[in-house]
């Protein structure tokens, strides 16, 4: 590092080498509400590692890049060396194939993003813009020293984008679908339905009726109210659904056990049940993550205060089923969470990567941004031209989607 900056870069081989309190304190300085972001918290990243979900064996080799000012952690990022492009949700397989066709190695590459988590948020944790820029330049220099093909920051924050642009990185845009309850502030699910066009409103009611007529009911549990049995049942569903699609699940049971132990306030579980009384059976689950704030119930004079999580933003994450019921996926993953969000004053619900079908459920298109650096000059030029064409296509796609709004035309 330049001596004038008085900073030191340390490359750590595991999230466990980073002090959790220092990391989370740095996260808390990010805007908006950095401390409430569950997916960059030290507990989340450590759980990925300790549960063997994201390790060198699964193609995720951690290299946490940290910037120190004396004994203070001034900036840092969760970087992974990847020998494949799975679990990222911003697709660069064509880039890897082009490298291969020219006899050049694309892997290993460097990735800055929480594993298996296509949720926008901070990636370059820093106390200010200057230190964020210093960090990203140091990461690029390290990638050059390691002779890596490329560096990729996925689903980045606005602050990250500014630093990456200033560092000369290329920007790429993708589309996600998010639901918002900030402008209208729906009073009930029926109130929400009335804001939709007649066609969409009718379709949703028909889909929900199919689930109800099949004898399916739902219950939900939040935080520490999610029982051990429900966590176990959730994983049975999650695992089976992956195997039914011909893939092993990305995340291990131990990962979710660690979430239950270290971050319970960030999880909301919906359980679908069939039948009544003693014959009632659990058949499906939907697990929702949340940007959560802890409130302490009971007041100052209470003898024992109990933590009560308040979800500010909900994120559709995982689902699974042991039985096939028409429209059950839509009910478990969209309608139940949206109804819960309305009833509990949650401002937004993010549906995750891809899925144009989500528009029919009133999740609207939102542009997300990633940043990319490629070491090979010719490939960098070619990909820059590609991204220009792709960017124009994304803009046209967004314009087209906006014309297909599910809401009533006033």
CATH of the domain at 36: 3.40.630.30
320: left (phi over 0), alpha (psi -120 to 50) or beta: beta
* 351: in domain: no
Span 187-207, average pLDDT: 96
* 169: in domain: yes
Q: What pTM did the predictor assign?
A: 0.94
Instruction: Give residue 300's pLDDT.
Output: 43
* 410: in domain: no
User: What residues are paired with 73 via a beta bridge?
Assistant: 68
Instruction: Give residue 5's pLDDT.
Output: 62
Pair 226, 172 in one domain: no
Could you tell me if 350 and 119 are in contact, meaning their C-beta atoms sit under 8 angstroms apart? yes
Pair 28, 112 in one domain: yes
Pair 166, 122 in one domain: yes
Pair 71, 8 in one domain: yes
Pair 136, 285 in one domain: no
* 391: in domain: yes
From the number of C-beta atoms within 10 Å of its C-beta (0-12, 13-18, 19+), residue 239 rates as: middle
Q: How far apart are CA 8 and CA 26, in angstroms?
A: 16
Span 183-205, average pLDDT: 95
Stretch among 7-16, 47-56, 228-237, 292-301 having the lowest mean pLDDT: 292-301
Instruction: Give residue 237's pLDDT.
Output: 98
Write out the H or E segment, with its range, that includes residue 281.
strand 281-297
Pair 335, 294 in one domain: yes
Q: How far apart are CA 222 and CA 295, in angstroms?
A: 13
Residue 3's pLDDT band (cuts 50, 70, 90) = very low
Pair 166, 189 in one domain: no
Q: Tens digit of pLDDT for each residue in 41-68?
A: 999 999 999 999 999 999 999 999 999 9
pLDDT at 4 > cutoff 60: no
Nearest CA among 370, 369, 384 for reference residue 151 = 370
Pair 187, 83 in one domain: no
DSSP 8-class letter at 22:
H
Q: What percent of the chain has pLDDT over 90?
A: 89
Pair 66, 114 in one domain: yes
Nearest CA among 324, 333, 386, 326 for reference residue 357 = 333
**Bigger pLDDT: 183 or 257?**
257
Pair 163, 192 in one domain: no
Instruction: Give residue 103's pLDDT.
Output: 97
Instruction: Give residue 303's pLDDT.
Output: 44
Q: Tens digit of pLDDT for each residue in 276-321?
A: 888 899 999 999 999 998 775 544 444 445 567 899 999 999 999 9
- Encoding tokens for residue 225? 């109210």
- Encoding tokens for residue 108? 């290993």
Write out the H or E segment, with its range, that includes residue 364.
strand 364-374
Distances (CA, A) of 365 to 92, 189, 299, 329, 405: 21, 21, 41, 20, 10
Pair 14, 51 in one domain: yes
Return mean pLDDT, the chain. Answer: 94
89: left (phi over 0), alpha (psi -120 to 50) or beta: left
Pair 147, 289 in one domain: no
* 113: in domain: yes
* 189: in domain: yes
What is the number of domains present in the chain?
2
Q: Tens digit of pLDDT for each residue in 83-128?
A: 999 999 999 999 999 999 999 999 999 999 999 999 999 999 999 9
Reply yes or no: is the peptide bond before residue 32 cis, omega within 30 of 0: yes
Instruction: Give residue 49's pLDDT.
Output: 97
Instruction: Give residue 85's pLDDT.
Output: 96
Domain membership of residue 230 as a residue range: 183-346
Per DSSP bridges, beta strands 150-153 and 170-180 are unpaired
**Alpha helix (H) ranges present in 263-335?**
328-330
* 352: in domain: no
* 340: in domain: yes
């Amino acid at each position: 590092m330049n001596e004038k900056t008085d900073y030191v870069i340390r490359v750590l081989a595991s999230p466990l080498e980073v002090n959790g309190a220092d990391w989370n304190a740095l996260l808390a300085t990010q805007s908006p509400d950095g401390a409430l972001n569950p997916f960059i918290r030290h507990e989340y990243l450590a759980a990925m590692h300790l549960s063997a979900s994201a390790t060198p064996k699964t193609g995720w080799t951690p290299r946490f890049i940290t910037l120190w000012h004396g004994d203070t952690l001034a900036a840092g990022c969760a970087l992974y060396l990847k020998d494949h492009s799975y679990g990222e949700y911003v697709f660069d397989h064509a880039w890897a194939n082009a490298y291969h066709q020219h006899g050049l190695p694309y892997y290993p590459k460097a990735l800055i993003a929480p594993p298996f988590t296509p949720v926008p948020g901070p990636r370059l944790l820093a106390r200010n813009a200057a230190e964020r820029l210093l960090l990203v330049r140091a990461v690029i220099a390290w990638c050059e020293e390691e002779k890596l093909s490329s560096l990729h920051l996925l689903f980045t924050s606005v602050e990250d984008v500014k630093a990456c642009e200033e560092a000369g990185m290329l920007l790429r845009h993708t589309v996600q679908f998010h639901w918002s309850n900030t402008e209208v502030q729906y009073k009930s699910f029926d109130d929400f339905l009335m804001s939709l066009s007649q066609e969409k409103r009718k379709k949703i009611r028909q889909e929900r009726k199919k689930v109800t007529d099949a004898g399916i009911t739902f219950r939900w549990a939040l935080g520490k109210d999610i029982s051990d049995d429900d966590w176990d049942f959730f994983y049975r569903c999650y695992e089976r659904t992956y195997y039914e699609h011909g893939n092993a699940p990305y995340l291990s049971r131990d990962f979710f056990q660690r979430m239950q132990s270290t971050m319970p306030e960030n999880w909301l579980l919906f359980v679908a049940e069939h039948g009544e009384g003693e014959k009632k059976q659990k058949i499906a689950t939907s697990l929702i993550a949340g940007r959560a704030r802890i409130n302490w119930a009971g007041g100052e004079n209470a003898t024992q205060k109990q933590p009560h999580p308040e979800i500010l933003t909900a994120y559709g994450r995982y689902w699974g089923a042991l039985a096939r019921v028409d429209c059950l996926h839509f009910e478990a993953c969209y309608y139940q969470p949206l109804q819960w969000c309305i009833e509990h004053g949650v401002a937004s619900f993010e549906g995750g990567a891809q899925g144009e079908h989500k528009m029919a459920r009133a999740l609207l298109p939102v542009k997300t941004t990633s940043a990319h650096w490629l070491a090979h000059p010719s490939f960098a030029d070619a990909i820059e031209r590609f991204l220009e064409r792709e960017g124009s296509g994304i803009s046209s796609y967004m314009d087209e989607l906006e014309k297909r709004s599910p809401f009533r035309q006033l």
